[in-house]
C-alpha cells in the first residue's frame, strides 16, 4: 500500500520501495527506485535520490565517479559499526571479485546485464550472492553520496550448474560408524570436540571457542556464546633502514559473538556425550578455560588438520569439516526430529534454511519413504 503523494509503497517481499523519475538525453523520463527496510529509511533515500537528480540536471554530462571511489567511501563508512569479520568479508569480496573488473568503470556507465553475465560459472552460490549484494550496496551508496545512477543487480539472474547446487557433502552411515569407532578409541578432548560437532551440530569456530563455563552440568546443556576465527590485521611498522613506513599484514585469533543472534543458543547434550564430557570436566580447575586448548581458543585451521588426520586414520575419504554439521542435520530429520527443533539447535533464523541447505536425504531415506506408502 502506498502513502498518498509520496511515491513510496510496501512491496510483497516486505521491503519499502520509493520511485522517482530522471530525464534521459532525449528528455524522456525514466522511472527509478530506491529500497529500504522501513518507510523512513526509504523516504530518506528517495529524498536524497531526488536531490541528486536535480544536481545532475544542473550540471552536464555523466558523473565521473568510479566504482572504486564509491566502494572505498562505502567501506570507510561501515567500518566502525560492523564486526571485524563482516568488514573483512565485504572488503575481500570487493577486492577479489569486483575491483579487478569494474573498479575503474564509471558508476553511471554500469550495465546490470553485463555484470551478471561476466561472473564466472565456477563461482559458488554463496559467493555470487555476496558479490551481488555488496555491489548493490556500493551502487546505492554512490547514488546517495554522489548522485550517480541507481541500478539493481539481481541474484536470481544467475543460473548455472556450478552456482545452483550445494556442494557440501554429508558423511554416509558406514563412514560415520568408522569415524565414531575411531574417535571413541583412546578418546581425548580433541576427539570429543569432533563428536560434539557430529552429534550437536556445532560450527568449527563455535567448538574452537567453547569454554567449560558454557557447559551446564546440572541441566546437561551446552551454551553457544562465541566463535573464533583467524582474521587479518594491519600494523604500521617503521623500517629504520630506509626511514619509510610500510604496512605489515598480520593475523589474529578473533573471538566474537556467533554468526547471528539466532546462533546464540542452548543445546541439550546427548547422554553418551555427557558421560564422556563429565569425565574431562572432573579434572578442570578453571571453568573460564577453553575446552580444547585451556587458556587460549583452538586455532580453527589446526583443528581442521586434526579432523583430516582422524578421517585418514579411520580409513575414510576426507570431506570438509562443515560436513559434520550437515550430517547432524540430515541424521536428525531422518530420525524423525521436527524441523523447527533442528533449526533452533543449528542456530538458524528459519526452518527453510535448515531444510534447503542442511538436509541431504540419502538413497536409504528415499527408499524408506517410498516403502512407507501403504498398498490401497
Residue 1, SS3? coil
**Largest Cα–Cα distance in the chain?**
88
Q: Are 130 and 89 a contacting pair, CB within 8 Å? A: yes
**Phi and psi angles of residue 247, each rounded to the nearest 5 degrees, phi first:** -110, 120
Lowest model confidence (mean pLDDT) among 137-141, 272-276, 332-336, 361-365 = 361-365
Q: Are 104 and 66 a contacting pair, CB within 8 Å? A: yes
**Phi and psi angles of residue 297, each rounded to the nearest 5 degrees, phi first:** -70, 160
**Confidence at residue 56, expressed as pLDDT on a 0 to 100 scale:** 60
Q: How confident is the model at residue 32 (pLDDT cuts 50, 70, 90)?
A: confident
Give the angle subtended at the CA of 132 by the CAs of 35 and 135, to the nearest 5°: 75
**Confidence at residue 36, expressed as pLDDT on a 0 to 100 scale:** 87
Q: How confident is the model at residue 261 (pLDDT cuts 50, 70, 90)?
A: confident
Q: What is the pTM of this model?
A: 0.67
* Residue appearing with cell numbers 556500493: 138
* Portion of the chain with pLDDT greater than 70, in percent: 81
What is the residue-wise DSSP string for 14-32?
S-EEEEEEEE-TTS-EEEE
**Confidence at residue 174, expressed as pLDDT on a 0 to 100 scale:** 94
Cα separation, 321 vs 302, in Å, equals 12
Q: Which residues pair with 274 in a beta bridge?
A: none
In the chain the domains, ranked by start, together with CATH numbers, are: 2-163 (no CATH), 173-371 (1.10.443.10)
Cα separation, 235 vs 249, in Å, equals 7
Mean pLDDT, residues 190-195: 97
pLDDT digits (tens, 9 = 90+) for 126-160: 888 899 999 999 999 998 888 888 888 876 644 44
The sign one gets for the Cα dihedral 108, 109, 110, 113 is positive
**Phi and psi angles of residue 111, each rounded to the nearest 5 degrees, phi first:** -125, 120
**Confidence at residue 320, expressed as pLDDT on a 0 to 100 scale:** 92
**Confidence at residue 163, expressed as pLDDT on a 0 to 100 scale:** 41
Q: How confident is the model at residue 31 (pLDDT cuts 50, 70, 90)?
A: confident
Q: How confident is the model at residue 231 (pLDDT cuts 50, 70, 90)?
A: confident
Q: How confident is the model at residue 209 (pLDDT cuts 50, 70, 90)?
A: very high
Q: Are 188 and 314 a contacting pair, CB within 8 Å? A: no
pLDDT at 117 over 70: yes
**Confidence at residue 118, expressed as pLDDT on a 0 to 100 scale:** 79
Q: Where are the alpha helices (DSSP H) in 157-262?
A: 161-164, 173-184, 189-200, 204-208
Amino acid at each position: 500500500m502506498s502513502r498518498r503523494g509520496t511515491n513510496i509503497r510496501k512491496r510483497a517481499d516486505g521491503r519499502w520501495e520509493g520511485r522517482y523519475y530522471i530525464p534521459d538525453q532525449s528528455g524522456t523520463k525514466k522511472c527509478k527506485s530506491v529500497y529500504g527496510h522501513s518507510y523512513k529509511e526509504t523516504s530518506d533515500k528517495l529524498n536524497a535520490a531526488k536531490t541528486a537528480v536535480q544536481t545532475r540536471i544542473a550540471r552536464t554530462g555523466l558523473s565521473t565517479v568510479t566504482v572504486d571511489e564509491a566502494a572505498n567511501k562505502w567501506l570507510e563508512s561501515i567500518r566502525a559499526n560492523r564486526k571485524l569479520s563482516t568488514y573483512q568479508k565485504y572488503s575481500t569480496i570487493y577486492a577479489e571479485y569486483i575491483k579487478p573488473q569494474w573498479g575503474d568503470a564509471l558508476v553511471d556507465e554500469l550495465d546490470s546485464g553485463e555484470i551478471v553475465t561476466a561472473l564466472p560459472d565456477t563461482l559458488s552460490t554463496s559467493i555470487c550472492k555476496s558479490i551481488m549484494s555488496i555491489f548493490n550496496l556500493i551502487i546505492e551508496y554512490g547514488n546517495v553520496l554522489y548522485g550517480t545512477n541507481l541500478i539493481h543487480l539481481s541474484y536470481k539472474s544467475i543460473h548455472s550448474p556450478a552456482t545452483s547446487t550445494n556442494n557440501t557433502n554429508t558423511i554416509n552411515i558406514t563412514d560415520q560408524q568408522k569415524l565414531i569407532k575411531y574417535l571413541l578409541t583412546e578418546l581425548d578432548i580433541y576427539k570429543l570436540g569432533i563428536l560434539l560437532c557430529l552429534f550437536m551440530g556445532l560450527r568449527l569456530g563455535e567448538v574452537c571457542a567453547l569454554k567449560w563455563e558454557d557447559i551446564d552440568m546440572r541441566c546437561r546443556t551446552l551454551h553457544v556464546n562465541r566463535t573464533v576465527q583467524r582474521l587479518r590485521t594491519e600494523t604500521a611498522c617503521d623500517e629504520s633502514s630506509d626511514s619509510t613506513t610500510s604496512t605489515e599484514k598480520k593475523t589474529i585469533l578473533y573471538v566474537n559473538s556467533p554468526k547471528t543472534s539466532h546462533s546464540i543458543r542452548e543445546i541439550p547434550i546427548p547422554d553418551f556425550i555427557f558421560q564422556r564430557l563429565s569425565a574431562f570436566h572432573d579434572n578442570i580447575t578453571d571453568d573460564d578455560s577453553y575446552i580444547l586448548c585451556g587458556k587460549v581458543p583452538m586455532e580453527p585451521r589446526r583443528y581442521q588438520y586434526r579432523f583430516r588426520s582422524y578421517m585418514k586414520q579411520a580409513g575414510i575419504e576426507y570431506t570438509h569439516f562443515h560436513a559434520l554439521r550437515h550430517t547432524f542435520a540430515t541424521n536428525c530429520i531422518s530420525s524423525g526430529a521436527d524441523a523447527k527443533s533442528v533449526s533452533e539447535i543449528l542456530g538458524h533464523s528459519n526452518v527453510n534454511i535448515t531444510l534447503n541447505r542442511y538436509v541431504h536425504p540419502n538413497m536409504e531415506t528415499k527408499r524408506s519413504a517410498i516403502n512407507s506408502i501403504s498398498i490401497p
